[in-house]
Amino acid sequence: MSEIPEVIREQVITELYRQADELNWELLSASEKKRQYQKWIEDSRVGGILREFFDDHRMGTWIKDTPMKEYARAQEGFGSTAKYARSRFPGPDVLIGQALGPGWIVVPNSVDDKPMHCLATIGESTRYVCWGRPNTFRDLIWAALNKAITMSERPLVIVTEQDGISVSANERATQAAIAEHCGLDLTHIHRRLLRV
């Protein structure tokens, strides 16, 4: 298997992310995504270019496990493929302002991922804040619990919603009960992607 030259890699990922934006990738079901991987293999702008480097099976694996695995992180402005994202969520400073109010700022160099998180501060108070889509709730709770044992301020979990991805009233109530039981603060914030 040949190494993909950077210029080819850039061309293909740019095209994948362009199409993913048009498809509302994060709203697709697993079966819809599987069908789209096959379409990309057959697409002259993707598979036609990659065929020099991969057979169909390896091509599908590369598309899924390299650029598309990073797509959600890229929309957060994170990871090696972020520079190819055509749309991104507003940065952590905007999210912290929405969640905690005016005056709270992101501690420099504290933003990281898996899950997305940072430290936020105002005056003498510093809080751990993590955020992600509803399907990452369990990971968010676990990350916040791990910080709760070492910090004096209660961690904050932000469940991020967007058009097409929301939390039902029943699910919100369950999430709130879990967060309260764990000694964590919880909020839900609707975000919109911005063109970059």
CATH of the domain at 121: 3.40.1350
Average pLDDT value for the chain: 94
pLDDT at 191: 93
State both tokens at 75.
């929309």
Q: How many residues does the chain have?
A: 196
Q: Does 107 share its domain with 174?
A: yes
- Is the pLDDT at 1 greater than 50? The verdict is no
Q: What's the domain count of the chain?
A: 2
State both tokens at 9.
């890699």
Using an 8 Å Cβ cutoff, are 175 and 149 in contact?
Answer: no
Q: Does 191 share its domain with 122?
A: yes
Hey, is 2 helix, strand or coil? coil
Q: Which of 88, 117, 142 is the last residue of a domain?
A: 88
Q: Does 97 share its domain with 80?
A: no
Give the whole-number percent of the chain exceeding pLDDT 90: 88
pLDDT at 165: 87
Q: Does residue 50 lie in a domain region?
A: yes
Using an 8 Å Cβ cutoff, are 117 and 131 in contact?
Answer: yes
Q: How confident is the model at residue 61 (pLDDT cuts 50, 70, 90)?
A: very high
Q: Which of 33, 63, 88 is the last residue of a domain?
A: 88
Using an 8 Å Cβ cutoff, are 39 and 16 in contact?
Answer: no
The edge-to-edge listing of strands for the beta sheet with 105-106 is 105-106, 116-122, 125-132, 156-161, 185-190
Q: Which of 88, 109, 131 is the last residue of a domain?
A: 88
27: amino acid identity, one letter: L
Q: Does 71 share its domain with 149?
A: no
